[in-house]
């Protein structure tokens, strides 16, 4: 079980769900999204229904800040970077929590999940398996390990959570458990097993 996870902030009294109303091909703040910044920072926007009278927004925000403060005081923060509650709001019976991490390692540690963002060469050095097949947007080209390693200077996002992701540059190739939304956005399947790979410029 994960010790740190933002879902716990919004899921104390409810089951996790993706807010209805988003079209299948549209990414927006109406569903949980991980945003990769140009500077390598990671922002997690967690979205949950908040439609019960006994839900307390002040208590929820306090709980989020408590978890973040505990994380920032942990021993490994020098390696992972800090987390910041950048935005919290409740409107129209929907709660939205935005937590920004200095780097991908912070997001991974906070949520206790497998998450990598960086260059292809760096991912390979860290031991990630490249025995995968990635397709391009048109589905006309498929690359494997050899071709992927040749793209060592390109960036890659590797994760296991079924969330939407937004990257700062054009997506080039992605694994079969990923659905392309537009040139910079994608969605990891809720039925995904194993890691999802998203290669971008």
Token digits of residue 151: 């793209």
Domain 1-113 = CATH 3.30.70: yes
Which residues of the chain form CATH 3.30.70? 1-113
E strand residue ranges, 50-121: 83-91, 94-101, 115-119
Q: Where is mean pLDDT largest: 4-18, 39-53, 90-104?
A: 90-104
User: Beta-carbon neighbour count of residue 94 at 10 Å?
Assistant: 17
Q: Is 57 helix (H, G, I), strand (E, B) or coil?
A: helix
- The structure's pTM equals 0.82
54-58, 62-66, 133-137: lowest mean pLDDT where? 54-58
H or E segment to which residue 125 belongs: helix 120-125
Percent of the chain with pLDDT over 90: 61
Q: Model confidence over 150-163: pLDDT tens digits?
A: 999 999 999 999 99
Tell me the chain's radius of gyration from C-alpha atoms: 17
State the Cα–Cα distance between residues 73 and 146, nearest whole angstrom: 42
State the Cα–Cα distance between residues 65 and 61, nearest whole angstrom: 6
CA nearest 197: which of 164, 144, 167, 159?
A: 159
Q: Is 201 helix (H, G, I), strand (E, B) or coil?
A: coil
Percent of the chain with pLDDT over 70: 83
């Amino acid at each position: 079980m994960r010790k740190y996870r933002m879902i716990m902030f919004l899921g104390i009294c409810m089951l996790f769900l993706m807010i209805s109303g988003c079209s299948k091909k549209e990414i927006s703040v109406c569903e949980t999204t991980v945003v990769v910044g140009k500077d390598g920072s990671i922002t997690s926007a967690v979205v949950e229904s908040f439609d019960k009278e006994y839900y307390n927004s002040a208590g929820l925000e306090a709980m989020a800040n408590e978890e973040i403060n505990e994380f920032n005081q942990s021993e490994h923060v020098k390696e992972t970077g800090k987390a910041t509650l950048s935005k919290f709001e409740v409107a129209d019976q929907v709660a939205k929590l935005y937590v920004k991490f200095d780097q991908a390692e912070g997001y991974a540690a906070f949520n206790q999940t497998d998450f990598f963002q960086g260059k292809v060469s760096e991912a390979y050095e860290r031991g990630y398996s490249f025995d995968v097949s990635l397709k391009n947007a048109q589905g006309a080209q498929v690359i494997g390990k050899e071709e992927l390693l040749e793209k060592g200077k390109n960036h890659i996002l590797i994760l296991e959570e079924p969330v939407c992701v937004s990257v700062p540059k054009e997506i080039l190739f992605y694994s079969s458990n990923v659905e392309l939304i537009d040139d910079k956005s994608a969605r990891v399947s809720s039925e995904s097993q194993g890691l999802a790979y998203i290669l971008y410029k």
